[in-house]
Amino acid sequence: MAEFTMELNDDQKQVRDWIHGFAADVIRPAAAEWDEREETPWPVIQEAAKVGIYSLDFYAQQFFDPTGLGIPMAMEELFWGDAGIALSIVGTGLAAIGVVANGTEEQIGTWIPQMYGTPDDVKVAAFCSSEPDAGSDVGAMRTRAVYDQAKDEWVLNGTKTWATNGGIANVHIVVAVVDPELGTKGHASFIVPPNTPGLTQGQKFKKHGIRASHTAEVVLEDVRIPGSCLLGGKEKLDERLAKAHERAGAGGGERVKNAAMATFEASRPAVGAMAVGTARAAYEVALDYAKTRTQFGRPIIDNQGVAFQLADMRTSIDAARLLVWRASWMAVAGKPFTSAEGSMSKLFASETAKKVTAQAVQILGGNGFTREYPVERMHRDSAIYTIFEGTSEIQRLVIARTLSGMPIR
């Protein structure tokens, strides 16, 4: 187990600089165009695949970094480039985490490569959990998965929403109810293979921010998938459900793992790192502007009102990064989040991104309110961090319940 450190080693610095160069040379120049087009930036994803950033090997190397800092470092640099394009590049990762967190070794080896495709034929994947009536309240989920024992198939019916890459993905990971009596403990995750009949794209959302990232509904109508597409396998599911029923009958007891929650627990520090990247980008634009913009015969950074804002912005960004790094290190070191450190990192970094980007707009004044300057887009993009993968309100609830010892539902 690696000791916690705030100093990147030489290999990590080399990777960071490589990703930063890609973000500066490829992502940033394309950011405004794809934001306006509100389309998936396939050419940029392909460029990322060609250089090795959009690949299973790259994410595996960062994921298995013994310090835990590989993924947050990569996320920060990519999202420093642009949040919408970066999410198009890394959105497949959430589905991949869903497979790693809940799947067997065979499922991991079979399906994750199909999520990425090849540099000449890139693919994406989608993680489908939220529903029109089940966002923060995952217990309200209605998508059902029923086992057809005669054919060894699962039949899925329902509608998912807010799915990144939903409908355009090669592989969809779908969370569904298998035992309604158990509430959230009766959920399981399923792999829907490419071109499976019955899965269609519903509404594609026109969004306030992260416009280059495809977000849509996924409609499932009598979708039949092989029994082997149940993540973790049926034997493990039956055992888990039996224990849940036993504990429910005994009036509660220890917690039972929930498929969607396992995915979000693993990904929250990474989302925090994304927010740090966007906040840092806006801060750097504001700092440069404040140094060169002259009013009343001097740069505006000479005014306390501006200088103090920049000081607070930088302090908050560094504090957010430290919380993200701590949670990421704890996760790889196998240390339990006894104080909901993963949720802490996501909460603080998300709120920091919203505040810092708003301050950047204010420092740029009228220019910050126009699309001629990137802080306008960064401010719009930042709003998503306090919403997706658990709102700030849900993070606070998770933290409070963890501190009090109450169960997280």
Distance CA 353, CA 291 (A): 22
For every residue of 170-196, DSSP letters joined together read SEEEEEEES-GGGGGGGEEEEEE-TT-
With both helix axes pointing from N to C terminus, report the angle between 56-63 and 105-116 in degrees, rounded to the nearest 10.
Answer: 130
Beta bridge partner(s), residue 145:
156
Gyration radius from the chain CA atoms: 22
Measure CA 122 to chain center.
Answer: 20
Sequence-ordered list of residues with C-beta below 8 angstroms from that of 240, at least 6 positions apart, any chain: 185, 256, 257
How many CB atoms are closer than 10 A to CB 38?
16
Structure tokens, 373? 């300057």
Structure tokens, 399? 């933290």
> What residues are labeled active site?
389
Distance CA 393, CA 388 (A): 11
